[in-house]
């Protein structure tokens, strides 16, 4: 039997020309219909006075963090490893993921920098 890198079905695949036209945009002004969105004060007024941490716990309930930790450990065990993780670790991990997606810096190391010109200021209203 001949060893091949390509699946036999790949030979039958046909390609079609791209039908997309790409244009450079300088801004996203009018990219969304402003009438489509209602002010937050109309949709969910209770969120206006919520602190950052209260909003975090609305998205990621504290009582679910231990469950996420257990599922993480279970997945790790399937991979033959033994990760020690708890609900607080998962909570911090989710927070870092949210923060790093929200705040742009040129490199990951800049998140931890204390230099005045690259400092990342945190909103710590806990």
43, two tokens:
């949709």
Residue 29 has a pLDDT of 63
Measured CA to CA in angstroms, residue 42 lies from 38, 47, 50, 51, 57 at distances of: 7, 10, 15, 18, 22
Tell me the whole-structure pTM to 2 decimals. 0.52
Q: Does 13 or 59 have the greater pLDDT score?
A: 59
Quote the domain boundaries for residue 67.
60-104
Residue 124 lies inside a defined structural domain of this protein: no
Euclidean distance between CA atoms 104 and 110, whole angstroms: 10
For residue 123, pLDDT over 60 is answered with no
For residue 104, pLDDT over 50 is answered with yes
Cβ(113)–Cβ(119) under 8 Å?
A: yes
52, two tokens:
């950052």
Residue 87 lies inside a defined structural domain of this protein: yes
Q: How many domains does the chain have?
A: 1
Residue 90 lies inside a defined structural domain of this protein: yes
Residue 72 lies inside a defined structural domain of this protein: yes
Residue 22 lies inside a defined structural domain of this protein: no
Percentage with pLDDT > 90 across the chain: 29
């Amino acid at each position: 039997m001949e060893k091949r890198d390509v699946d036999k079905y790949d030979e039958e695949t046909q390609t079609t020309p791209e039908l997309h036209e790409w244009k450079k945009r300088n801004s996203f002004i009018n990219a969304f219909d402003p009438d489509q969105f209602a002010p937050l004060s109309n949709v969910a007024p209770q969120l206006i006075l919520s602190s950052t941490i209260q909003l975090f716990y609305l998205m990621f309930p504290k009582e679910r963090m231990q469950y996420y930790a257990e599922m993480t450990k279970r997945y790790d065990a399937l991979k033959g490893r033994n990760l020690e993780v708890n609900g607080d670790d998962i909570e911090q991990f989710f927070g870092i993921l949210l923060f790093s997606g929200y705040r742009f810096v040129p490199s990951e190391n800049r998140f931890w920098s204390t230099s005045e010109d690259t400092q990342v200021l945190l909103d710590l209203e806990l």
